[in-house]
Amino acid sequence: MSAAQPPFPPPDRDFFGPDLIQLGAVDDEPCLRADAARNRAKLLEAAARLIAEHGADGVTMEAVAAAAAVGKGTVFRRFGDRTGLLTALLDHSERKFQAAFLGGPPPLGPGAPPVERLHAFGRALLRRTVEELDLQLAAEPGSDRRFGVPAWRVQHHHVVLLLRQSVPDADCDLLAHVLMAQLGPALVHHLVRQCGMPVERLEANWADLVARITGTGPHSRAARA
């Protein structure tokens, strides 16, 4: 293990304020004019139908405009580009997920020991990734932006917090990157879709990694005996 890390910073509004972190831009908030909000909902409904019928590859700005019976420029003005549109579709499930691990019932939410919360977080994020895999792959930002997306930052920050409570002398920031790497959509797609690996095996591997890192698994107890 490395030298002790600096004290964990106090919660701040960027991560743990009253508003959940969102995927989309600030102007995607409920303060939109009523007509703009209706148009946005109409476009998202059209995009969701296209995904259900044709998969994420069937979602283009042109196809969404046609399905919603609006001009293509309307879609671009509302979402910027295809990634922005797909990101907006993920926003609802991201809000629910954040609400669960930031303030929901234990063990995913507060109230359980940090190691139990780590186990629950990985299982919940993995299941969500599998359920939304096509959409998450299509919406995944490029490598230059992947780790700056607000939703990813708050998830990483949460894992760092739990690790610092469990193994305060470790390099928890880097460990959080290593842990979360196995939950990324691209790797999950490769393992589940291309290798045929059951999701249960990925869940078991997450549990094993958490146990080894935090020294709470049976192998750790045997080594100390």
Q: What is the CATH number of the domain that holds 43?
A: 1.10.10
On whether residue 133 sits in a domain, the answer given is yes
Q: Is the dihedral of CA 112, 117, 123, 125 positive or negative?
A: positive
Task: Please give the share of the chain, as a percent, with pLDDT higher than 90.
Answer: 52
Query: CA 111 to CA 103: how far, in whole Å?
Result: 9
Inform me whether the pLDDT recorded for 224 exceeds 70: no
191, 126: one domain: yes
Q: Do 163 and 56 fall into the same domain?
A: no
| Same domain assignment for residues 95 and 195 | yes
- Say whether both 184 and 147 belong to one domain: yes
Residues 120 and 195 both lie in one domain: yes
Please report whether residue 120 resides in a domain. yes
User: Structural domain tally of the chain?
Assistant: 2
Query: pLDDT tens digits, residue range 146-188?
Result: 898 888 999 999 999 999 999 999 999 999 999 999 999 999 9
For 196, other C-beta atoms within 10 Å of its C-beta total 7
Q: What is the CATH number of the domain that holds 99?
A: 1.10.357.10
Residue 205 lies in a domain: yes
Q: Which residue has the higher pLDDT, 224 or 124?
A: 124
Mean pLDDT of 22-51: 71
- Compute the distance between CA of residue 70 and CA of residue 56 in angstroms, rounded to an integer: 20
Specify if 99 maps to a domain. Answer: yes
163 and 212: one domain?
A: yes
**What pLDDT shows up at residue 145?**
86
Say if residue 225's pLDDT is above 50: no
Residues 41-63 have a mean pLDDT of 87
Residue 23 resides in a domain: no
Domain-ending residue, one of 62, 80, 98: 80
Find the domain containing 39 and state its range.
Answer: 31-80
pLDDT (0 to 100) of residue 55:
82
14 has a pLDDT exceeding 90: no
Asked if 51 and 128 sit in the same domain, the reply is no
Q: Is residue 54 domain-resident?
A: yes
Give pLDDT, residue 219.
58
Judged by phi (left if over 0) then psi (alpha if -120 to 50, else beta), residue 69 lies in left
Both 102 and 46 in one domain: the answer is: no
In a domain, residue 37? The reply is: yes
Q: What is the pTM of this model?
A: 0.73
